[in-house]
Amino acid sequence: MTNRFAVIGLGQFGESIARTLSDSGAEVLAIDIDLDKVEAIKDDVAYAVALDSTDVKALKAQNIQDMDAVVVAIGENFEGLLLTTVLLLELEVERIIARAANAQQRMILEKMGIEEILSPEETVGKTVAEMLLHPNMKSFLPLPDDYEIVEINTPSRVVDQTISEIGLREKYNLNLITVKRLYDEKVEGQLQQVEHIIGVPRADTFLKETDIMIILGKSKDVNKFIEVNK
Ligand code: ATP
């Protein structure tokens, strides 16, 4: 069955969520109070509607309560975001994901019982800082309890070793989720290097210089692994 999602607030963040969901085959209802924002996206999503999401009748008219999830991506208008979120709770929407611009807003949403809260500015800020601090880090997903999932270039000292030789789990307390590897492939008649996932890594999998490791672990363990094996 197709997933049905609504995105309320089509600033850069909401628009990007709506487009990505729609590109992946989901049925998306995109909502904004600003008609221009709705016009700009209407050809790329299933439904695009201009309405004020603090108006419960307008929300009900779109059957918002039947969505699998609703993302409230309103930014500066925190009052609007709060009212919208309360109405969605009242309408017993199955899954509500709300945006918080700062710690105070996050706390208010948490007190209201919202379990999924996004702070795009903070997340991107942290990612950029991590990538600057650790040039080997390609991407970074912060998780609770100081855990993170990172993509890193294979450190030079572990190139040509197997995963069991490196002792990722035993020595560093890290889990290798998978590896991104370059393969020579013919694309439209031309030989090109194309990136693939090796699948679930095995103890005897060798790491190549150009491999990108995707690792789960505590932040301090990831940093230690990168530093020690530079
Ligand atoms: P971004 O950082 O995602 O670009 P932003 O910081 O510009 O967002 P806003 O412009 O405040 O954030 O909010 C995002 C969108 O939410 C805007 O397009 C705005 O029109 C819409 N919006 C604000 N209030 C409401 C409301 N009550 N109902 C529907 N949409 C709303």
CATH for 123-229?
Answer: 3.30.70.1450
Question: Residue 218 has what pLDDT?
Answer: 95
Interval between CA 3 and ligand 1 midpoint (Å): 24
pLDDT of 229 reads 85
Listed in order, strand segments (DSSP E) in the chain are: 4-8, 27-32, 47-50, 69-72, 96-99, 116-118, 137-142, 147-153, 175-187, 190-197, 212-218
Cα distance between residue 35 and residue 199, in whole Å: 45
Kindly state the average pLDDT of the residues 81-99: 97
Determine the pLDDT at residue 216.
97
The pTM assigned to this predicted structure is 0.75
Q: Which of 172, 216, 175, 178 is nearest to 199 (CA)?
A: 178
At 217 the three-state DSSP class reads strand
CATH class of 4-118: alpha beta
* Pocket, ligand 1, Cβ cutoff 6 A: 8-14, 31-34, 37, 52-54, 74-77, 80
Residue ranges of the domains in the chain? 4-118, 123-229
Residue 95: what pLDDT? 97
For a pLDDT cut of 90, what percent of the chain falls above it?
A: 80
Given the CA of residue 75, which atom of ligand 1 is nearest to it? 12
